[in-house]
Structure 1
Amino acid sequence: MTEPSSRRSPLHDVHVREGAAFTDFGGWEMPLKFGSELAEHTAVRTAAGLFDLSHMGEIVVLGPQAAEALDAALLGELSLVEEGRARYTLLLNEQGGVLDDLVVYRTGQDRFLVVANAANREVVAAALRERAAAFDCAVQDESDDVGLIALQGPLSLDVLLETGGFSADGDGRTEERFAELVRGLGNYRFLAGEFRGHPVLVARTGYTGEYGFEIFTASGVLAELWSALLSTGRGSGVLPVGLAARDTLRLEAGMPLYGNELLPVTTPQQAGLGRLVRREKRADYVGRAAVEATEAGSGRVLVGLAAEGRRAGRKGYPVRAGDREVGVVTSGALSPTLGHPIAMAYVDQDARAAELSIDVRGTGLPVTVVPLPFYKRKA
């Protein structure tokens, strides 16, 4: 008998009314789906979908040396990030393995918001406190007070602006000013504003491969915000979306998931994130020596695999070259958008040019190595 999930989203009762089926995710009871997984996936690709991300961790690092502390703690050079911008980065261990992947928002000159995966919230908070101890700054875990919703899909901007009640922060807090600013938001940028008098942070970030937004606000405001966005968008095909469709969306977009593609034993280079390693970074950081010593030809690397038919390789299935096992699937599914099976897998580098197959319960499924991402939205 499995242990019950220990935590519930501020939107749990809302999801119950929507008929959600729930599952445990990182110790949280979260919606797996609200109806058809295929319909939810398709809604995000063709209209928009609304996601509850309240399980994510929100950790604030603030103080005169907050930037320096994060430079020493994380792979990225956060001191170079301007206010109003965000950066995707990694928390590494001494061996260069990934403890978590993060998005860090610079919300002020001396203030950063670090967003961690649900299961790693305490790991990230503890690591940041330890690594920031020598700097003049504080690390505060504000996860219990912050709610997060994602609105993703080609109609997300229209839905956001039609919902009403949003205004820009600062002088002249009008809906017109908010609309002007949000239309001009580039990828990985954000703005501070209000929703019906409550502070919000609206960011052009997401994990679906689509145009969209992530909106932070106080946990107590989340239900009102969710209901307003969903009510506005339903007539245009907007649906609430659960974890099942979220997973196929990020897989199609070739986005790694912690616990699947990212692990404490995988380096950024193995995971296809070598672009994040900047040898010119000024500050030392935990794991630097290990990742910079990683040889380009060492270890298994993450690849995309495509197949024909309807059967799909799943996490943990072996990848073979003839009778030799040369890798393992980390994520796999029948792609709703592309109509054929896709997978990400760690494969021996010298086997990438070989004829490969996924062992699907004893039967070989021929696969081809293809570039990531599998799907890329039209501009």
Structure 2
Amino acid sequence: MSTPTQPMPEPGAPVITEEEISLEQKEVAGLSQGQIVRRRFLQHRAAMVSLIVLALTLLLAITSIGWGPVPGWWKWNAYDVVGSPSGQRPTLAFLGIGGHFFAWGDFPFGASGQWGTDNFAQVMRGTQQTIVVVLILGLLTTVIGVVLGAVAGFFLGWVDSVIMRFTDLIITLPIILITAVVGYQFNTRGVLVVALALGLLSWTSLARLVRAEFLSLREREFVDAARVAGASNARIMFKHILPNSVGVIVVNVTLTMSGGILAEAALSYLQFGIQYPDVSLGSLISQYQGSIQTGEPYLFIWPGVMIIVIVLCLNFIGDGLRDAFDPRQKRIPKARDLRKSRQLEAMATAAGPES
């Protein structure tokens, strides 16, 4: 009887030895699936750094100028006229740039000479609008995509065909054009209309992924056991199958949020999104796109920097979640971890006969 041969590794792929595999198995021994996911995510440095940076950015945006009736610690809001006719250069200095290790000043991001507004307050207001768009977009995408994808993947037949053809129809719709038309029909270009329009059109990729997960999981033994136990279809879908699809859902929603930020910025830049009297990061870029010619490039740069920071953080967090939820992901231990493991095994072997 011939023994099965081991599959050859792909060219360029890292070779994982048995010692490395055993070390990884020791690290996760006795842990639940949730603990393993949390451990892998915490070990993803880029995701953890991005999570901290994103949290600090959102905390600064919310506490600086306040939110709604809650006042902030910054002395101006996004609508106060505080600048001089000649404008005001940024007073923010750090790490020796500007002659100080750190200095905040009266106008950390500068002030507009044409509009007379504090750029820091406006950028923080635009970041708040981004938070609202991200939250509404993520909520709508999750609810619509998960429900439609689950129903299509579980029931199949004509239900699957109708939902997937409807999904194909939504995919063909131009998001920017539809959002602009919706804003014109409601005679408003506020953050709520933009967020709702983006959320109602951004769930298609999640629905397809959830459907694929349900197609593969609906034939598993634990689903058959639930049917034999008398569980209803709704309970099987959302109690037994859906928890096994959380990884795909979380990763896709995170990446969809970053795409929604760019879509909102593009809409506002083209003057189809959030407009005066409110502000967004995209509308600030559109408003100050000529500031480079007037010698005030900081008015244009800071909104763009905030967009880049938030989008990169969400993408890195999504990468970390993908690696954490992927059961096929193998973490190659460092040489220091291998040496430490060998030392502990040697000490245990040496102490064994003595005891």
TM-score by length of 2: 0.23
Higher helix share: 2
Higher strand share: 1
TM-score by length of 1: 0.22
Say which one has the larger Rg: 2
